[in-house]
Amino acid sequence: MSQTPRDRWAIPPKIGYVNAAQNAHFVAAPLLAAAAIGIAGVMAADGDKFRWPGPAMTLMTVCAVFFVSCIQSSFNAATHLFNPADLDAWYGSSEKPPDTVLMQIQQRDFQIWKQSSRRAVRLYNWGVVTLGMGTATALAPHESASSAHAACRWAACAFVVVATVRVAVTTTAEARRVRRNRHSRRQEP
């Protein structure tokens, strides 16, 4: 006997997705936000030693905001993700509503989780992009740097820019793909 979508529990698209997202959003994002704030603080204190301290501090501040917003969005998403085992633990031996009712609630909340989780991923990715842009801006050599020192710093700056552009392109392409898929689902009869 085949089950309809309302007769099944909703599950994440990949087995390890939830753990990976939690590690990125609750471990990496706070550390990266702290690093961005630390770099902005160093630049505020020693701005005369950097080529473009103002733009770099701005990018690092925006980066920290993206990462903190990612953490908040991921936390909000996590409040909507649960499975049958969670429900068993929640209700314990008390009277539990029928599974069909719980499945409908879980499926509704799962859609909210997906939206909030996607938002958290986008915020994380744009945090990485602004971190890269801020780092590249901070790495630009001061005008008084020797030519050898300047060459090394420009090379490091270029390396970071290439990696950052790659992340920005991937993030933009993924956002467009999700938007296209969402739009095509609305068009279906």
DSSP secondary structure, the chain, as one string: -PPPGGGS----SSTTHHHHHHHIIIIIHHHHHHHHHHHHHHHHHSGGGSSSHHHHHHHHHHHHHHHHHHHHHHHHHHTT---HHHHHHHHTTSPPPPHHHHHHHHHHHHHHHHHHHHHHHHHHHHHHHHHHHHHHHHHSPPTTS-HHHHHHHHHHHHHHHHHHHHHHHHHHHHHHHHHHHHHHHHH--
What pTM was computed for the model?
0.83
User: How far from 85 is each of 12, 18, 45, 97, CA to CA, in Å?
Assistant: 15, 16, 52, 14
Whether 44 is in a domain gets the answer yes
Whether 70 is in a domain gets the answer yes
Whether 138 is in a domain gets the answer yes
Name the 3-class secondary structure at 16: coil
Asked if the model's pLDDT at residue 5 lies above 90, the reply is no
Asked if the model's pLDDT at residue 2 lies above 60, the reply is no
Whether 3 is in a domain gets the answer no
Whether 122 is in a domain gets the answer yes
Which pLDDT does position 169 carry in this prediction?
95
Number of domains the chain is built from: 1
Q: Tell the burial category of 179 from Cβ atoms under 10 Å away from its Cβ (0-12, 13-18, 19+).
A: exposed
Which pLDDT does position 1 carry in this prediction?
45
Instruction: Find out whether 58 and 94 touch, Cβ atoms under 8 Å.
Output: no
Instruction: Find out whether 43 and 50 touch, Cβ atoms under 8 Å.
Output: yes
| Mean predicted lDDT score pLDDT of the chain | 89
pLDDT tens profile 92-136: 877 888 888 888 889 999 999 989 998 999 999 999 999 999 999
Whether 2 is in a domain gets the answer no
Whether 19 is in a domain gets the answer yes
Range of the domain at 132: 8-187
Asked if the model's pLDDT at residue 74 lies above 80, the reply is yes
In which residue are the tokens 């706070």 written? Answer: 30
Whether 98 is in a domain gets the answer yes
